[in-house]
Amino acid sequence: MQLILCEKPSQAKEIASLVGASKRGEGCLLGNGVIVTWCIGHLLRMAEPDELNPDWAEWRLEQLPMIPSEWTMRVDRDKAKQFKAIKSLLSQATSVVIATDAGREGEMIAREILEHCNWRKGPVHRLWTSSQDEATLRKALASLLPGASKEPLYWSALARSRADYIVGMNMTRLYSLLAKQQGYQGVLSVGRVQTPTLALVVARDREIARFVSKPFFDVVITSAGGHGRTFAAQWLPVAQVADEEGRCINGPIAQQLAARLRGQAAQVASVEVKRVREQPPLPFSLSALQQVCDRKFGFGVQQTLDIAQSLYEKHKATTYPRSDCRYLPVAMLDEVKPVLQALAQSDPSLGPLVMQLDSRLRSSVWNDEKVNASDHHAIIPTMGVIDLSAMTEDERRVYELIRLHYLMQFMPAHEYDRTEVMLVALGQQFKAVGKVVAVAGWRALMVKSSASASLSADGAESDEAENSDAGGQELPPLEQGHVCPVTDAQVVEKKTTPPKFFTQGTLIAAMKGIARYVADPRLKAKLSETSGIGTEATRAAIIEGLIKRGFLLSSKRSVRSTDAAQSLIDALPQPLTDPGTTALWEQALSAIEQGQLTLDQFVATQAQWITHLVHEAKQAGRGALQIAATPTQACPLCSAPMRKRSGANGPFWGCTRYPECKGVMDGGGKKKRTRKKAEGAT
């Protein structure tokens, strides 16, 4: 009998209906010679330290380093019933189809069960798909892959898991015990991905704290062109009065120039017109979706992931959400018309729009090479007809955003003429930039929808609308040599601004684009190839974990590091805070997938490295870490110290300048509370 092993009950139900397994059994659906069962995520976990060695139950410095001599998996207590059912079903099975999510983690969820149960009774096949709609699942079921083709993903995932365990177990205990010697009460958690992520926030916070704002001065003239139409142009200061960014830093000079310019004439030195053609923004990867939802809707990254997962599992409205890819395979061109038809059926108001789309258009989204570099393709609508009324308001907003970016692929490019005019007045140069739309193209859809985004192909924020110096003005007809009277000249005083604090969305972007923070060109290339640190599936949980542990304070406007976080980052060896270490790991994990390195070799190397770090910290003793016994937090409104208090809704941080400042943060830093919720606190 064939056993199909799914990752979640919803997946199992969908597949069972397609293979004729309609009878309910214990933890399964069966019929037609097939059993369909399901995991609930990972049913197994790594054994806790005290389960590996009773002496490791108590945290003591002399125990470190702790390197397991053998690795043991334990059944998760809350999932023991389902594991027992699967184990029993495996005893009846003559072949297995792994139908868990496509990727390293999905492979591990299934393979660790087969290994734990020592199942060797027959062949293993792999169902590989990124969508759960009926048509796609039928296609995947008809073209199963040999199980061996994806098995290296399991060994790679297991290597990563064991090495993470060694790093986390030893480094967390080491620095928590060193901190305890100095009166700090709490756990200083250390991890391969979470620690470099925390270091990013600490570095940004310190850069902002060190920043000294400086004034600079823009001189803007208003000139008259043909037909009496006026336009604005900005002064390009000479080097003698400008900083390294080309900004005028001499206020009196700017004022004097403005006063002299009034009533003068500016001569057109050059006119350059360039036709700019913009392709539509790509569909979403998970991190790109999280960034946009953070910026537009104020959604936390975990909230966006939960919504995307619901759209995929519950509503069958979109494809696999934990994707790191923003491209689609050319083979999916055959599905364009069915998807567009399903969208129109699901939302009749889209009917007229769908009729205007050109399904023959080929935007840059169709790229097999980009898709082949990933386990998944972009998040797009499925071919299924869905019930929009069954969605929550937030689900509907995210769905419409995903849908919009798919529809844009079948609209013409947006085209505009960008005109750059250089003028000379009183021997000084001025620049005017204008824009005239030639073809609205896909931007016509953005006018009709508030669910629009501005992300480049790699997920970084971009100026899709126009260059920032365009100003949106429409210039009058101008030619070289034309003389334009200066009708007004104004000095606009500005100040340099510090970098922005991270938000959850921009922190996700930094994790994905971590390569820009690495100097070594080889490691930079590897991090670019692997889409940064963490995965689409884990980044939200990593940020949430840092917040819950008290390392980060998060509001809708910012994510900031706590004093404890800064002390920890200062104390840790550079390899633990450097994202380049993850790049080295990824190189090794790729080698495991390609059969060039074994699981045991990789783990042994990491154990040796951690042993060295532990011995170095022990020799440094108390000097290895300096941390305050009672850490303080910075108010998100005024940056004054905050004090932890208790309220009706649990602990929270309140500004010490209250009532002058009403800055209040959730005790875990997850969100800003209202003053009403905080009243009555002790």
Residue ranges matching CATH 1.10.290.10 in the chain: 286-410
Q: Which residues contact 199 (CB under 8 A, 6 or more apart)?
A: 569, 577, 578
Helices in 94-242 by DSSP H: which ranges? 104-116, 134-141, 151-180, 194-210
For residue 258, give the H/E element and its range. Answer: helix 251-261
* pLDDT confidence of residue 22: 92
Give which of 32, 23, 24 is closest to 1, Cα–Cα.
32
Q: Which of 144-158, 320-334, 610-624, 648-662 has the lowest mean pLDDT?
A: 648-662
The pLDDT of residue 583:
81
CATH 2.70.20.10 location in the chain: 215-278+418-435+469-495
Q: Which is the CATH superfamily of the domain at 215-278+418-435+469-495? A: Topoisomerase I, domain 3 (2.70.20.10)
What is the Cα–Cα distance from 664 to 652, expressed in whole angstroms? Answer: 7
Average pLDDT over residues 671-677: 37
pLDDT at 676: 32
Pick 557 or 601 by higher pLDDT.
Answer: 601
pLDDT of residue 185 exceeding 80:
no
**DSSP labels, 198-241:** HHHHHHHHHHHHH----EEEEEEEEEE-GGG-EEEEEEE--GGG
Looking at residue 623, its pLDDT comes to 72
Q: What is the pLDDT of residue 135?
A: 80
pLDDT above 50 for 663: yes
Name 418's bridge partners. 274, 435
Exactly one of 154, 312, 320, 416 is catalytic; name it.
320
- 644 pLDDT tier (thresholds 50, 70, 90): low
- By DSSP bridging, strand 124-126 and strand 95-99 are parallel
- Average of per-residue pLDDT across 308-321: 93
pTM of the model: 0.78
* Average pLDDT score over residue span 415-435: 96
Helices (H), 520-598: 521-529, 539-548, 563-571, 574-577, 580-593
Of 256, 198, 151, nearest to 578 by C-alpha is 198
Tell me which architecture the domain covering 2-149 has in CATH.
3-Layer(aba) Sandwich (3.40)
pLDDT on residue 180:
87
**Pick the residue with more confidence: 446 or 271?**
271
In the residue annotation, 406 being an active-site residue is answered as no
User: What is the pLDDT confidence band of residue 381, given thresholds at 50, 70 and 90?
Assistant: very high
| Res 467: pLDDT | 34
In CATH terms, is domain 159-210+504-623 a member of 3.30.950.10?
Answer: no
At the topology level, CATH places domain 286-410 in: Topoisomerase I; domain 4 (1.10.290)
Per-residue model confidence as pLDDT tens digits over 574-599: 989 998 888 888 889 889 988 899 99
Q: Where in the chain is the domain with CATH 1.10.460.10?
A: 159-210+504-623
Residue 643 is predicted with a pLDDT of 65
Strand partners, 494: 216
Report the pLDDT value the prediction gives residue 640, as an integer from 0 to 100. 59
Quick one: pLDDT band at residue 677, thresholds 50, 70, 90? very low
For the chain, state the CA radius of gyration: 29
The secondary structure of residue 477, as a DSSP letter, is P
Higher pLDDT, 199 or 531: 199
pLDDT (mean) for 472-492: 93
Confidence class for position 632, pLDDT limits 50, 70, 90: low
Mean pLDDT score of the chain, rounded to an integer?
A: 87
Give 461's pLDDT tier (boundaries 50, 70, 90).
Answer: very low
Region 549-567 average pLDDT: 88
Nearest to 582 by CA among 566, 617, 600, 606: 606
At 492, is the pLDDT very low, low, confident or very high (cuts 50, 70, 90)?
very high
pLDDT at 582: 83
pLDDT of residue 447: 67
Residues 608 and 550: beta-carbon distance below 8 Å: no
Q: Where in the chain is the domain with CATH 3.40.50.140?
A: 2-149
- At 559-576, the pLDDT tens digits run 999 888 998 999 898 989
